[in-house]
Amino acid sequence: MNAYQIIPGLVYTLHSKLNGELLKDILNKGELTNLINYITRYCYATSSGPSVTMHATCQDYKITLKQYLNSCEGNDEVISVTVLLVSMYNACYSFQSETDKRDNLLSLALGKLEHGGRGSITEKAFVRTMSE
C-alpha cells in the first residue's frame, strides 16, 4: 500500500526540487511515470542487503542499467533516494511508540530540513548524498 501512496509523491517532489521545476508542470511526465512504475513494480521491497542490484527490467522503462541502485546518476538518482525514504518511513512507523502513530517520525525529521535557513542542505546535495 505504501508503494502506491508514497512513491509517486516522493518521485515527483524529488525530481521537481532536483531540476527546479514546478510540480504541476511535471505530473504524468513520461520519464517520471517510468521511474514510478519501475520502483513500485520491481525495485521497492526487493533488497536483501545494503547494496541493491538493479533489476534488468529497468531497460523496459528506459532507465539506464547500472549494477547497483546507488550508482544511478542524474534524474535516475531519484530511484535510490525514493527506495531509501520509503524503507525509512516504514521502519519509523514500525518501531515508533505504539501509543502515538499519528505522525511518522521520518516525516517530522524531513520537515526540519526545510527550516534549515543559513547553511541548510541544497536539494541537489540532499539527493546526491542520500542516493549514495
Tell me what the mean pLDDT of segment 41-68 comes to: 76
Helix (H), strand (E) at residue 30: helix 30-38
Count structural domains, the chain: 1
CA distance 98 to 115: 28
Q: What share of the chain in percent tops pLDDT 90?
A: 2
Domain holding 48, by residue range, is 2-131
- The DSSP string of 79-114 is HHHHHHHHHHHHHHHHHS-TT--SS-HHHHHHHHHT
Cell 513500485 sits at which residue?
40
For the ranges 24-33, 98-107, 111-120, the lowest mean pLDDT is seen at 111-120
pTM equals 0.73
